[in-house]
Structure 1
Amino acid sequence: MATQTAAERREEARQRYNAYVATCPSRKLLDTLSDKWVSLALTALAGGPRRYSELARTIAGVSQKMLTQTLRTMERDGLVSRTVTPSVPVRVDYRLTPLGEDLMPLLEAIKRWAEIHMEDVEAARQAYDRRSGHRP
């Protein structure tokens, strides 16, 4: 087997993980990361470990079932770790893993952008609806 240069290895990885290809595994990860509950749960954990009940109170509107599914998905993807402390009642804490922490600057920037530009987006939506006759 021939030795590859660093550039050849990067190109091979680029071809293997091309999110524009329907079968690419990175597409599934992008689907997960774009989920509103995932992004909200990750940013809620940015300040440090949280108990399940704290997350449920922090993330308005999330159902118990959806929060549980979201945390399991993030744990499976290696973004969050779950620690069970045997006590009465049992204590369960969630925290970002190093992989999850590495993602935080990007998510925090998107969250901040959305908060700063929400009025602009609302104005654009209203203008579009007026032009197109669209009724939300």
Structure 2
Amino acid sequence: MPEKNNQQTVFLYDDPDCPIRRLASEVGSKWQMLTVFALACGPVRHNQLLDRIEGISPKMLSSTLKSLQRDGFINRIAYPAVPPHVEYSLTEMGKGLLHHLNNLVQWNYNHLDEIKAAQETFDMEKNKIRIG
């Protein structure tokens, strides 16, 4: 857990229970977040997820799905069929996560102009230092 140090929160590098570090490892990758969003509309098969998540490889998708399943954010249901039929869906905890990710995306969208302006200002100042 984070420690309070003179009114400032300190996140410890080696503390596996640090909430920021746990969040980053559990859902901090772009593939994990995109996979959660791709499952928002209900159960989906592996190949459908590959179609929905542009740029992800089959191997990375499989790894991401296993990680999200391990953390309790998604269900994996294998139906006895030939060929194998497997569907993935969000658990209740995954739906709660989706709600918070939606809020984060909305916050980003609401501040996109400010973020872009800050990036442009930073880049211009950085270029001035190089040139000057």
Band of TM-score, shorter chain: 0.7 to 0.9
Q: 1:95 to 1:31 in 2, by over 3 A?
A: same
Question: Deviations for 1:20-42, whole angstroms, at most 9, x for unmatched residues?
Answer: 23313342343221111111111
Q: Which residue identity does 1:43 align to in structure 2?
A: F
Q: What is the match of residue 24 of structure 1? A: 16
Identity %: 33
- Of Structure 1 and Structure 2, which has the larger fraction of its residues in helix? 1
Aligned partner of residue 81 in structure 1, secondary structure: strand
**Where does structure 2 lack aligned partners over 5 or more consecutive residues?**
4-8
TM-score normalised according to structure 1 size: 0.76
- Of Structure 1 and Structure 2, which has the larger fraction of its residues in strand? 2
User: For the aligned residues, what is the CA RMSD?
Assistant: 2.5
Offset, 1:85? 1.0
Specify which of 58, 76, 93 is matched with residue 99 of structure 1. Answer: 93
**Where does structure 1 lack aligned partners over 5 or more consecutive residues?**
1-12
CA distance in 2, matches of 1:19, 1:91: 46
Aligned partner of residue 93 in structure 1, secondary structure: strand
Question: Deviations for 1:40-62, whole angstroms, at most 9, x for unmatched residues?
Answer: 11111111111111111111111
TM-score normalised according to structure 2 size: 0.78
| Number of residue equivalences | 121
CA distance in 2, matches of 1:84, 1:115: 37
